Amino acid sequence: MLDKGRCIMTNNIKQERRYRRTEALILNGLTTLLQQKSIKEITVRELADLVDINRSTFYLHYTDIYDLLEKTEQRLLQQLLDAVNQNWTLPETPKNFFAFLEQAFTILSENAQLCSALIGPNGDIAFLRNIEKMIREKGVQTLRSFAPRELREQDLQYAISFALAGCMGLIEHWLKNGCPETPTHMAELTLVLLREGTTSIGVPELAPHALH
């Protein structure tokens, strides 16, 4: 009985590994094809042939190419949301904001080719918009908690729009150039650049030297 149970467990482990390997192949195939053409031009047959799997195997994982794209984006967004919830907490400090930035850049770096494809000319603009929405919601809370009471709500919204546009531009440039700098360096640089824009409206410094 014990041997039978061990055999079942071993088979389950093998199946799980096989499943993950196939997932990785499909994801790599999607990344490669998005660098060449738009999502509406990609077919299941083309992707399956590229990564050398049967179409029936693909359909065990996803219903179609759009399902693959949606679930891939959801996984990345969930990782970023987890980074927000784990590190970007109130009361806000430069240290925990830096921890969020460093973890976010690490996630992007670990998925650099995929993220670059998603934000590229053949990618999905909704992916970037969802990242922006996530950061905006938390950013407004953070700035509101630090900003002087006399600061107009509309000016606060302008400030977060300004900061968000800069952050997204920085991320795009970094990804498109192959992530030459480390996530730590990019987190520190982001803090420095944000400091210049937020201190002018009365928000305390969010500078690297404040991390310690």
Statement to judge: residues 47 and 94 lie in one domain: no
- CA-to-CA distance for 145 and 156, rounded, in angstroms? 11
27: containing domain: 1-61
Statement to judge: residues 85 and 190 lie in one domain: yes
CATH number at residue 142: 1.10.357.10
Statement to judge: residues 95 and 160 lie in one domain: yes
pTM: 0.81
Statement to judge: residues 189 and 84 lie in one domain: yes
- CA-to-CA distance for 189 and 198, rounded, in angstroms? 14
Residue-wise pLDDT tens for the chain (212 aa)? 556 666 655 667 778 899 999 999 999 999 999 999 999 999 999 999 999 999 999 999 999 999 999 999 999 999 999 998 888 776 566 688 888 899 999 999 999 999 999 999 999 989 989 999 988 888 777 777 777 777 788 888 888 888 889 999 999 999 999 999 999 999 999 988 887 755 544 555 544 444 54
Statement to judge: residues 54 and 128 lie in one domain: no
Statement to judge: residues 83 and 161 lie in one domain: yes
CATH number at residue 52: 1.10.10
The full length of the chain comes to: 212
DSSP string for 2-67:
HHHHHHHHHHHHHHHHHHHHHHHHHHHHHHHHHTTS-GGG--HHHHHHHHT--HHHHHHH-SSHHH
**For the chain, how many structural domains are there in total?**
2
Which residues have C-beta within 8 Å of that of residue 197, sequence separation ≥ 6?
A: 159, 162, 163, 166
Statement to judge: residues 47 and 71 lie in one domain: no
Q: Please confirm whether the linkage preceding 91 is cis (ω < 30° from 0).
A: yes
Give the domain-ending residue among 12, 43, 61. Answer: 61
